[in-house]
Amino acid sequence: MNLTKLEDQLILHEGMRLNIYKDTVGIWTIGVGRNLEYVGLCTEAEARYLLRSDVLAIRGGLERSIPWAWVGDLNEVRQRVLLDMAFNMGVSGLMKFEKTLQHIADGRYEAASQEMLRSRWAYQVGQRAMTLSKMMATGHDD
């Protein structure tokens, strides 16, 4: 069976809506007739697909907001710290960490990690901030 033709047919009949809406019988729905009350919001595979899309969008936002040349020179762990923080508070939120970002750009990772912990964000996210701060300071996951 040609799944693409079936998908196109279902889109024609069901329509495609990218926001949650109530269908003709009042059931919360999204996409192409996905009944959120009976099917559920999404599977783990779908959640990971959405996450990957969000991460790529965040990375794109960071690449436009930070001189990516110096970010690209960071090891993977420190890059992940920045992406994690931007995912959590948005790129614009991360951009408010001016001292932290300057310390990172200058290679002063311990100072950057301490600056991260001085923020309201650290208080709000608790252990996440502690973990990310340690990763920034050491450049390691553990």
**pLDDT tens sequence across 59-69:** 999 988 887 77
Domain range enclosing 67: 45-138
Shared domain for 58 and 124, answered yes or no, is yes
Query: Does residue 68 form part of some domain?
Result: yes
**Is the CB of residue 61 less than 8 Å from the CB of residue 67?**
no
Which residue ranges in the chain fall short of pLDDT 50? none
Q: In the structure encoding, which two tokens stand for residue 115, read together?
A: 């600056």
- pTM for this entry: 0.80
Shared domain for 51 and 21, answered yes or no, is no
**Is the CB of residue 76 less than 8 Å from the CB of residue 135?**
no
Shared domain for 91 and 116, answered yes or no, is yes
User: In the prediction, which pLDDT does 39 show?
Assistant: 79
Shared domain for 50 and 109, answered yes or no, is yes
Q: In the structure encoding, which two tokens stand for residue 13, read together?
A: 């009949």
Query: Does residue 40 form part of some domain?
Result: no
Q: Is 11 left (phi over 0), alpha (psi -120 to 50) or beta?
A: alpha
Distance separating alpha carbons of residues 82 and 130, to the nearest angstrom: 14
> Which sign, positive or negative, has the C-alpha torsion 114, 122, 93, 52?
positive
User: In the prediction, which pLDDT does 127 show?
Assistant: 95
User: In the prediction, which pLDDT does 107 show?
Assistant: 95
Spatial strand order of the sheet with 28-31 comes to: 17-22, 28-31, 34-35
User: In the prediction, which pLDDT does 130 show?
Assistant: 97
What pLDDT digit, counting tens, does each position of 73-87 carry?
899 999 999 999 999
User: In the prediction, which pLDDT does 10 show?
Assistant: 85
User: In the prediction, which pLDDT does 24 show?
Assistant: 85
Residue that has been written with the tokens 């311990």 in this structure? 110
